[in-house]
Structure 1
């Protein structure tokens, strides 16, 4: 397996994981399951933090030569929107965190609908971004190695999305 094949498999697996978390979150809001909502929002933030970080720090900069600055700026803007949505989802999930052993009632219809909408707004970026691996395949192997090395560092740091966005990321939303 080439380094590029490894990247493509890894990148696709990460997008599948995020897709599955988002779909499960929609189902949890539909079911009115506060414990599941809270756990899934945390898992979503944990999964997307390292992923967004290596995309922004290593992959997006080299893709400027392929797509141009305007499209890469759109990708960054998509990340901004996802960060805002995850922040709102975390605030919504915070309503359902236990105080001792007490869990409040399930989300009301308006809260559930809002949670579903916020989650659905993230889905297009997941599917669109997965296709970027097609362009990474055209990059020199050294660039792919750099992207994967940056991924390793991001995973070692293991900052969830909201922590990374609020501390390390140079772009604030």
Structure 2
């Protein structure tokens, strides 16, 4: 390996660890500070980590800061922790949505695979209340979902409820009083 490759890989590793730390810090700061305050704090800490990592290494620089949660608490002002966490709500909703799509697609692909092995032309089934169909005809193969009943919207309701709970979104209403 040449030295340029080692330096590039090393600087990428430093960048990745720094940005991962700052991302987690931003999530904790979101609950207590405004966007403007968070950006200012994150900019300052990013610069400090960069300077400290150049002198002592990234591991020592991040260890000296402590956990992102503890550092965020030191910046929080008293009485302002009633803010909703929009990022956390989005992450939970997106994560559950991706999990739902993965499970539904895997189930339907398995159904199509069984259909191809059996030689049948079409099949219908239910995945957690959602009507699922698969077909294998001379014109082609395919899969489909039908969302014609209220049961089909239960996963969406679960995702929205998880986002509300994880992000404490009800605090938007409480904050206006």
Give TM class, smaller chain.
under 0.3
Structure holding more strand per residue: 2
Structure holding more helix per residue: 1
Give 1 or 2 for the bigger CA radius of gyration. 2
TM-score by length of 1: 0.26
TM-score by length of 2: 0.25
